[in-house]
Amino acid sequence: MIHKRKQFIEKFKILLILVIGLVLSGSVFAAEEKKQEKKEEKKEEAKPNVFSAAASKITFDGYFQLQFSTSSVDKKDDPTTPDKNEGVVQDSFEIRRARLGLRANFTDWIVGRFQIDAAASTAILRDAYLDLGFDPKFEVRFGQFKKPFSRIQLLSSSVFPMIERGIRIRGVSQKALDNSLEDLKFSERDIGVMVFGNFKEAFGKDTGIGYQLAVVNGAGRNVVPDTNNGKLINGRINVIPVKGLELAVSVSNNTINGDPLVIDSTNVQAYGFDFQYRPDPNNGIWLIGEVDFADNFDPATGGFLRGDDTAHLFGVTGIAAYRYPLTTNKRLVAIEPAFRVDFTDPDTDKSDDAATLITPGLNLYFHKSVRLMFNYDFVVFQDNRDTESAFQFRAQYIY
């Protein structure tokens, strides 16, 4: 009896060991199966993103700018309103910009870019182009983009240290350098083709040479069809001789000819030199300077398109800013005082039509992408008119 009981116990042990072995092996198999399923799920997830069946990667970006401004222009001085009782608005809020951008990467060398602006004060389409990056030294862009002229214009307003690039005071028609170049279509956006490239470390570490050459309509952004049969050509060379220092030369020629204009074929040119010094893009000093010469064929401030009778514009802008990091403050991470002087003469043959824009400013950073900006613009006229001024405020975030 005892012998049988021992045999039963031994058989039970063997059976128990077999059951435990099966359970463990089943668990290991199940675990391996789950791992395999997870791998398969990951493989299935490695598809083009849900927004596009063609692009391998889509990135969204943009920024928002709420602005408040005042104007010192008196009602009786307002040249734009015949009704003296209306005058200019003394203070106003506005959504200055509300940009949404999209970048589509099809391969490591084919990139598409699209940007719109939902702000009521601007045309909605800004950037819309395709880049073919055959090589860092040779790339081609097709579509609507910023023309390669004027550093002040090429710098995004989302990072620019001043609120406005030029004069923007209600009731003041005088133009600063950036206003003039944009109105004459030498800068800002246009539709066409551009080749560009960069030669990195041309003179050593943190140096380089870049070039841009664009052929565009010359009518400005969102203007279709072209306003005449000529085309505008912009060329720009940018040199980085040492870390943080950039020097650039720009040339522009706009050929305006034939129907629907009632003038003969005419060429108008602009030439510019600009620089920036910014050894650290996040902190410290930032210097920006620009000098431009241009044919001013604006009937309001220059001359009509008739060869030598066209007025010649001259302008110079200088900006200095310094960002101080605040490492001990949990809310305010940096402050940035800034100062600008702009002198623009729309017709160098006249002695009383120039103006000087002076702007002290202060930027408060609560995050590298969130800032409050405070500017006070003063416009001093060469013809001894009363100086006009405006307080400007902006709240901005970048995403």
* pLDDT attached to residue 388: 96
**pLDDT over 70, % of the chain:** 77
Residue ranges and CATH numbers for the domains of the chain are 55-84+94-398 (2.40.160.10)
b/e map of 147-168 (b: 16 or more CB within 10 Å)? bbbbbbbbbebbebbbbbbbbb
Nearest partner of 337 among 289, 378, 393, 375, judged by Cα:
375
Q: Which two tokens stand for residue 129?
A: 């182009």
Report the range out of 100-104, 289-293, 303-307 with the highest average pLDDT: 289-293
80-89, 103-112, 381-390: lowest mean pLDDT where? 80-89
Is the pLDDT reported for residue 369 higher than 90? yes
Measuring CA to CA, which residue among 298, 291, 224, 197 is closest to residue 254? 298
Q: Which of 97, 37, 108, 96 is nearest to 69 (CA)?
A: 96
Residue 130, pLDDT > 60, answer: yes
Instruction: Take residue 142 and report the two structure tokens written for it.
Output: 């097709």
Q: How sure is the predictor about 88, in pLDDT bands with cuts at 50, 70 and 90?
A: confident
Q: Which residues contact 17 (CB under 8 A, 6 or more apart)?
A: none
Residue 53, pLDDT score: 61
Condensed to tens digits (0 to 9), the pLDDT of residues 327-368 reads 988 899 999 999 999 999 999 989 899 999 999 999 999 999
The predicted pLDDT at position 298 comes to 78
Residue 263 backbone dihedrals phi, psi, to 5 degrees: -120, 165
> Is residue 22 within a helix (H) or strand (E), and if so which, with residue range?
helix 2-45
122 confidence band (pLDDT: 50, 70, 90): low
366-to-66, 199, 329, 334, 358 alpha-carbon distances in Å = 16, 36, 10, 7, 26
| Span 16-75, pLDDT tens digits | 454 445 444 444 444 454 455 444 444 444 443 445 567 889 999 999 999 999 999 975
- The DSSP H or E segment spanning 179 is helix 177-183
CA pair distance 113, 148, nearest whole angstrom: 17
Residue 390 CA from chain centroid, whole number: 24
Highest mean pLDDT, choosing among 116-120, 141-145, 267-271 = 141-145
